[in-house]
Amino acid sequence: GANSYGQLGHGRASNECLSPREVDLSELDLNLGDIVSLAAGGGHSFIVQASGHVFGCGLNNAGQLCHQKNTEITKFIPIDNLSDRNVIQISSKWDSTFALTRNHECLGWGANSYGQLGSPPTSLLTTRQPITLIPYLAQQVEAGLRHCAILTPEGYVMTSGDNRKGQLGHPPSQSFQPVCDLSNVRSVACGQHHTLALTANDRLYGWGCNKFGQLGLNPELQPNVRSPTEIPVPPGSIDGCTIVLSGWTHSAMLTGSGTVINWGRNKYGQLGVPPEQKPNGWKPEVLEDVRKVVQLELGSEHTLALLEDGVVMSWGWNEHGSCGVNHTQDVTTPRSIQLSGKAMMVAAGTGHSFAVIH
């Protein structure tokens, strides 16, 4: 994928890498088996170790790597500012980064130009140090382009940041506030300008921008939604859904049986169907060509699916090679990526991708 800022960790910045290439981690005290999660943002990337230690590389102009260095970092290095935080999850979609710790503390760093870190930008424009976002316990944190959503253990969603499209689900605020009339949530996702929530009783809600049908609602009738609105889904399809996810303008759910349901923009084939066959993809539908998925990740406009047999499928926007198929044409139907072994984890950034291989 894209490597303009060294976000692939190959030791140098370059235009792009069109097919998977091994990242040299030999200088780090890190075994592949110790990796518990990966995260990729606009031009930066993270590895999270089972010990809670974090390694990062790529663009750091706004402090999104949580490192004091001002310039690009082209190889993964330890992020010392997080060494004692015991991080288990990281989320980023552009130049702000958010993390969840083992103690359920929610942290943020990087750009705050829209109050996405929960503070007015007049008092905090950027930060290279992690700050605590809310004085409550957190269960999950998800980044949008310029907003953030935090899920609490009690099932409430709190949001802060840009609200021009109604993506906060409450009146404009530069501090984290609860989303109106929403509870019992078990999974949350943020897109470019929209937010999604899946409840414990298998109901799906969305709010924010719906220009491309990314909320699962007819964009001609509801181009913008400013409060949580239930999304109709095919009967029985949502039963057992474990997670809701979002790219910039397309959205998806993964069921417990490994089925993918997706909807939204399909200009680049990011729904796994050629655009000419599905020009209007606002209705949530099962993606028939991909089954037995154990991990699903949405980049800005591309998708990665890890299957139970270790195969990785990709589809969608591929201008910078983020689909890993050795060319830059968009991939409009799911394609398997040629890897050196079975994958056990994947991550998708704005225009770059990762896979951890056995």
What tens digit of pLDDT does each residue of 24-33 get? Answer: 999 998 989 9
- Is 54 a domain residue? yes
Cα 120 to chain centroid distance, Å, stands at 24
Per-residue pLDDT of the chain (358 residues), as tens digits, is 999 999 999 999 998 999 999 999 999 989 899 999 999 999 999 999 999 999 999 999 999 999 998 889 999 999 999 999 999 999 999 999 999 999 999 999 999 999 999 999 998 999 999 999 999 999 999 999 999 999 999 999 999 999 999 999 999 988 999 999 999 999 999 999 999 999 999 999 999 999 999 999 999 999 999 999 999 998 877 878 889 999 999 999 999 999 999 999 999 999 999 999 998 899 999 999 999 999 999 999 999 999 999 999 999 999 999 999 999 999 999 999 999 999 999 999 999 999 999 8
| Adjacent-strand bridge partners of 254 | 243, 260
- Range list of H helices, 43-143: none
b/e code 56-89 from CB counts within 10 Å (16+ = b): bbbbbbbbbbbbeeeebbbbbbbbebbeebbbbb
CB 13 within 8 A of CB 5: yes
- Is 322 a domain residue? no
Q: What does pTM read for this prediction?
A: 0.97
Cα dihedral across residues 60, 66, 100, 123: positive or negative: negative
- Range list of H helices, the chain: none
Q: How many domains does the chain have?
A: 1
Q: What is the pLDDT of residue 279?
A: 86
- Is 40 a domain residue? yes
Per-residue CA distances from 289 to 77, 122, 335 (Å): 38, 49, 10
Q: What is the pLDDT of residue 71?
A: 87
CA distance 334 to 317: 12
> Which range of residues forms the domain containing residue 65?
1-84
Which pairing describes strands 194-199 and 185-190: parallel, antiparallel, or unpaired?
antiparallel
- Range list of H helices, 232-322: none
User: In terms of Cα–Cα distance, which of 220, 103, 205, 211 is closest to 153?
Assistant: 103
Cα dihedral across residues 323, 150, 221, 171: positive or negative: negative
- Is 66 a domain residue? yes
- Is 44 a domain residue? yes
Q: What is the pLDDT of residues 142-170, one digit of tens each?
A: 999 999 999 999 999 999 999 999 999 99
- Is 214 a domain residue? no
- Is 15 a domain residue? yes
Proportion of the chain in helix, strand, coil states, percent, rounded to 5 = 0, 40, 55
Q: What is the pLDDT of residue 306?
A: 99
Place of tokens 């414990």: 200
- Is 33 a domain residue? yes
Cα 127 to chain centroid distance, Å, stands at 21
